[in-house]
Amino acid sequence: MGETIATIVDTYALMAEATGEITEEARGVLDDVRRKRVLGVIHPLITYEFLTQYYRNRLPAFDSPREALEFLNTYFRTENLTNDIATVAADIKVKGLTLVSKMSRHLSSCDALTIALAKTGGYRILSGDQDLRIIAGKEGVVVIW
């Protein structure tokens, strides 16, 4: 059958799906994750951001934070963040600050960690976040959307 494609699904993509603002291409990738044709990957800071959105009442499909967490655990493999990944992320964040600040934009720590994990793990990223896409491209990471 071939090798399974691994894709980090960013909080932006999860929220766009929840609010119906996702593109058809991105929805197709998420459908492939649900069908186990694509390995969906997240990290703990994505979980944190997703649950923060639950507590802000932006995830009406879930009745409890436990249910939202079970959703993540069902469909996504959670990668651990290491000090080596954090070191790469810090470098990406500092380089990214220079680039995106010229455009009056901002690269979040979560996005820097997502890019670092993708870069070190050989993953692609699913996200519509413009800041993440700009910096990931500069780092040689493929972003779908």
- Smallest CA-to-CA distance from 81 within 129, 108, 41 is with 41
> What is the model's pLDDT at position 1?
43
E-strand stretches of 10-102: 38-42, 77-78
For residue 55, give every residue at least 6 positions away whose Cβ sits within 8 Å of its Cβ, in sequence order, or none.
Answer: 65
pLDDT, averaged across the chain: 93
pLDDT in tens, 48-63: 999 999 999 999 989 9
pLDDT in tens, 69-109: 999 999 999 999 999 999 999 999 998 887 766 766 788 99
What span, in angstroms and rounded, lies between the C-alpha atoms of 100 and 11? 19
pLDDT-based confidence at residue 3 (cuts at 50, 70, 90) = low
